[in-house]
Chain A
Amino acid sequence: MLGLFFKKERQLERLIYDYLENLGSIQSQFVKAMDICLEEGLCDEFCFLMEQTHKFESKADDLREEINELMYSRALIPESREDIMFLLESMDRIPGSLELILNIINTQKIIIPEFIRLDIRELIRVSMETCDLMARQVDVMLKKRVGVRSLLSNIDQNESHCDHIERRIIVKIFESDIDPFLKLQLKEMALAMGEISDEADRVSKRVNIINLKRRV
């Protein structure tokens, strides 16, 4: 019934869900690209998947712009407008981080050494799981409100797990006897990978605050 009068709000809701779906697509392209990179190194398929990731990342930017424009045209009350805007701003850093990792690997022609591959796989798996949890938390916050806090704690646990893996990878890199220049390149890549769960954790904390604010 309310939807009849509030078309902008319903359109906004649809766009936010499109954004979350697009984030899932970016993640899946990123995971495929990293699998190829870990199994076959840099190849045409990796470049194709990197290109795909970039396309989805651009789409995320477009969606965010569209959402902001819609909100500026008086959709939502100012307080919700501000919350959604900051939420998208912090969520939008994740596609950027994923694209950055692929760019680092591609431009610096990094071949990931065997002794850290398992850890890298683990770091990517947990980071993607954290992003999925974050997207679910956003959905819960938009819809039901109940369950946001338990997801916050799961995301927090995952983030600390990722920090441990990231540290372990860096220690392994510097304990190995590979070329010192490669060590620095790998460290930069590991730090960028660790950043994914940090960003998801930041979004999760913001979602929790928005949810708390909505309780009266």
Chain B
Amino acid sequence: MWSLLGGVFLGWSLGANDAANVFGSAVSSRMIKFWAAALLAALFVLLGALSEGRAGIETLQGLTSLTLKQAVISSVAAALTVTIMTFLKLPVSTSQAVVGAILGMGFYNRELDLSGLAKVIICWFGTPIGGLIIAALLYKIMAAVYNRAGIDLFASDMLLRISLVIVGSYAAYALGANNVANVTAVFVGAGTLTVFSAALIGGLSIGLGILTGSRRVMETVGRRLVRLDPFSALVVVLAEAVTVHLYTMVGVPVSTSQALIGAVIGVGLIKGIKTVSRRTLDNILTGWFLTPVVACSIAAALYFAVNLQYVPEG
């Protein structure tokens, strides 16, 4: 049971950080109270993990075969990577950290499913691009409907608020379905957990992170999105959710933050405004390349250190 702690911590930090991507705009603009948002997010994360988490778990556990010791090391390495990158204020993807750490173990084992790995890396490239394209399309369609509907100011206001809650819940569902694999897939590969128990424990730990650690992030980091008008914020969250959900169906865990940034850029392109600064883009790119490399190196170093043996001279 103690061996799961690294994964549970990873799930907790994922929930604490990524909840802002689903309900940040609604909470920081006080459209919904934090506790209502946190409860909804935790509930839908768990639902998503239990109903659609299987595909991602199977993909990650299929990348390489791990022993329990390697599973623990890779989850600790991923958690350390997330902590270091957050400390360096670089945007970090838990999915990339986990895959990087699994790769580290795979190199040791000299056993890697290259076709699975290629699928994962292609999806990493596709996440921000998918977010961008989906956001641009959704914005065009939804704006045309919204402008033609001619609803009055109060009704449109209520509609936006309700939609933000519904879309936020859907995004939480997609987050749980997609990212639960990051938390516990390695333990399925090591034979410690079944797919169902991995989805349950992963979903619960992400939910716990949302309930106990996401408040500050939701109230502050979420403000980045509020600079967009409420309609654009709604499109961005919906595009992020659809993107992440599509990758869930493919069975590849991706970063909700990268999908979100892609969606923000997509809405900006349609509206003809600059929504993301050059510096933010540089940080994202740096984080994008560094995260798997750092996680892979830490996992390899940890495994090396754990396996050092004292050999007496003579």
List chain A positions with a Cβ less than 8 A from chain B.
2, 5-6, 9-10, 12-13, 74, 76-80, 141-146, 213-216
Given known contacts A13-B154, A144-B150, A216 and B30 CB-to-CB distance under 8 angstroms: no
- What residue in chain B is nearest A81 (Cβ atoms)? B157
Given known contacts A2-B162, A213-B229, A216-B229, A78 and B154 CB-to-CB distance under 8 angstroms: no
- Can you list 22 contacts pairing A with B, beta carbon distance less than 8 Å? A5-B162, A9-B158, A76-B154, A77-B160, A77-B161, A78-B29, A78-B31, A78-B226, A79-B230, A141-B153, A142-B154, A143-B153, A144-B150, A144-B152, A145-B152, A146-B150, A214-B153, A214-B156, A216-B142, A216-B143, A216-B146, A216-B229
The residue in B142, B153, B156, B158 that gathers the most chain A C-beta atoms within 10 A of its C-beta is B153
* Pair A77/B153 contact, Cβ less than 8 Å: no
A2 to B161, CA, bound (A): 11
* Pair A216/B231 contact, Cβ less than 8 Å: yes
* Pair B157/A215 contact, Cβ less than 8 Å: no
List chain B positions with a Cβ less than 8 A from chain A.
29-31, 139, 142-143, 146-147, 150, 152-162, 226, 229-232
For the complex with contacts A2-B159, A77-B160, A216-B139, 11 further pairs of A-B residues with Cβ separation under 8 Å are A6-B154, A6-B158, A13-B154, A76-B154, A79-B229, A142-B154, A144-B150, A144-B152, A213-B229, A216-B146, A216-B229
| Top 6 A-B pairs, shortest CB-CB distance | A216-B143, A216-B231, A2-B158, A6-B158, A143-B152, A13-B154
Q: Which residues of B contact A5 (CB under 8 A)?
A: 158, 162
Q: Which residues of B contact A13 (CB under 8 A)?
A: 154
Q: Which residues of B contact A74 (CB under 8 A)?
A: 30-31
Given known contacts A215-B147, A216-B229, A80 and B153 CB-to-CB distance under 8 angstroms: yes
Q: Find B157's partner among A80, A141, A144, A145 (CB 8 Å cutoff).
A: A80
A197 to B146, CA, bound (A): 34
* Pair A142/B153 contact, Cβ less than 8 Å: yes
A146 to B150, CA, bound (A): 8
Q: Which residues of A contact B158 (CB under 8 A)?
A: 2, 5-6, 9
A47 to B184, CA, bound (A): 81
Q: Which residues of A contact B226 (CB under 8 A)?
A: 78
* Pair B153/A216 contact, Cβ less than 8 Å: no
A35 to B195, CA, bound (A): 85
